[in-house]
Amino acid sequence: MIDDDLEKARDSILTTARRIISLGPICDSCLGRQFAMLATGFTNAERGRSLKSVMAMQASANEDRAFLEELAPSFPPARLKLGRKGEDDAPCSVCLGEMAPANLDLWAERAASALNGWDYRTLL
């Protein structure tokens, strides 16, 4: 019974992630954020990359080229499996690249600069 429940939960998570990916390229952070209440202790990017990794392995095992094609724009290992080299990730259809690590640093710097001169003790 417990195994059945775990299998249903896993299938539900992967089905949801697959539906999200079918809507367009999505970065690891934006995909992972959709599952933020699961697997606490991971960053959004770690959750997203983990989901993409499992789905890519599953698609490879099932020879599901169509799903690898959907995954490829935002996941280099899928492009590699398809023999597509030298391509960059497509812009994320959710954040348009704003969640990229370099951009996060820029947003943090802007926020720190905007808060300069303000006295605060907590985030809220």
What's residue 13's pLDDT?
92
**What are 118's two structure tokens?**
């303000």
- The backbone torsions φ and ψ at residue 97, rounded to the nearest 5 degrees and listed phi first, read 90, 0
Distance in angstroms (rounded) separating the CA atoms of residues 113 and 27: 27
Residues 18-22, mean pLDDT to the nearest whole number: 96
Residues 10-15, mean pLDDT to the nearest whole number: 86
pTM for the full model?
0.80
Q: By the 8 A CB rule, do 34 and 26 touch? A: no
Q: Can you tell me whether residue 67 is helix, strand or coil?
A: helix
Distance in angstroms (rounded) separating the CA atoms of residues 39 and 59: 23
Mean pLDDT of the chain: 90
Is it the case that residue 1 has pLDDT exceeding 60?
A: no
